[in-house]
Amino acid sequence: MKEITVNGITLAVHDEGTGPPILFVHGFPLSHSMWQPQVFTFAGDHRVIVPDLRGFGESDVTEGTVTMEQHADDLLALLDELNVNEPVVLCGLSMGGYIAWQFQQKYADRLRALILCDTRAIADTPEGAENRQRLAKMVIENGSAAVASAMLPNLFSPATGDRDQSVIDELRQTIAATSPQGIAAASLGMAERPDVTPLLSSIETPTLLIVGEDDGISTPEEMKTIADAMPNARLEVIPKAGHMSPLENPKSVNAAIHGFLQSFTS
Ligand code: MLT
């Protein structure tokens, strides 16, 4: 991992390979490690840039509220520090998708394409935002392992537990090792995120949307409405996967990403 200073903090980033750049942005409350199956597959002929976001993994933590826009600004500064001048394919999962919307709004000229996995365009309902505030308080009081126990049942397809419990165990360890302050700050930031639904029809960036067939957080139905609203997007539904589709069924997700990359590079 490299350590890169951006916007007054240090971010840890895995930077491997050469070729067209792909920036992988993890979900909440995870780290760069969730993209391991994609790094393994795509680093052979791409430059894969896989940061730990502010507050996660080995990156610095800032307290308070960290907005999705702040994360997008960090990513832009990171690309600049790494001298990545050509437009990137930005691949984000869930919270990584919320950040991708902000990146697209502010820095569209730095984007070659978007890959949005298991994410949403709408803002939180008032009730959803209250739950985020509760979680932010709870993680400071009870620690990150409690967040892992609360979240894990909703993240995976039943098929994943039947096939390979170790994927779930590893994610539990990642969450338990995450800073409570980092989790709280991102949770409060997600509660503030805007509804981007009105913007979807104006996003010309080529976009691949990916969703696990059993995702109960960002459902296939909801992601279809996003695909239908965007002029240059298509949706792939991944079998035997839930909200963590790139980890649960990497073979199908990587095939979808590969086909998408081919569609505009060949
Ligand atoms: C994630 O996977 O990043 C979270 O499910 C996002 C969220 O809580 O909305």
pLDDT, mean of each 10-residue run, the chain (266 residues): 97 98 98 98 97 98 97 98 97 98 98 98 98 97 97 96 95 98 98 98 98 98 98 98 98 98 83
Q: Which atom of ligand 1 lies nearest, measured to the CA of 97? A: 3
* Residue 95 in contact with ligand 1 by CB distance below 6 A: yes
Q: What is the C-alpha to C-alpha distance for residues 246 and 255, in angstroms, rounded to an integer?
A: 11
Separation of CA 96 and ligand 1 centre (Å): 8
Q: What is the pLDDT of residue 264?
A: 82
Residue 187 Cβ < 6 Å to ligand 1: no
pLDDT at 232: 97
Ligand 1 centroid to 265 CA: how many Å?
A: 31
For atom 7 of ligand 1, which residue has the closest CA?
95
What is the tally of structural domains in the chain? 1
Predicted pLDDT of residue 265: 72
Eight-state DSSP code of residue 30: -
CA 153, CA 106: separation in Å to the nearest integer?
35
CATH of the domain at 22: 3.40.50.1820
Taking the complete model, does pTM exceed 0.85, yes or no? yes
Q: What residue numbers bound the domain in which 90 lies?
A: 2-265
Find out whether the beta carbon of 27 lies less than 6 Å from any atom of ligand 1: yes
Adjacent-strand bridge partners of 15: 49
Residues 117, 92: contact at Cβ < 8 Å?
yes
- Confirm if 91 and 24 have CB atoms less than 8 A apart: yes
120: CA distance to ligand 1 center in Å? 9
Cα–Cα distance, 20 to 151 (Å, whole number): 35
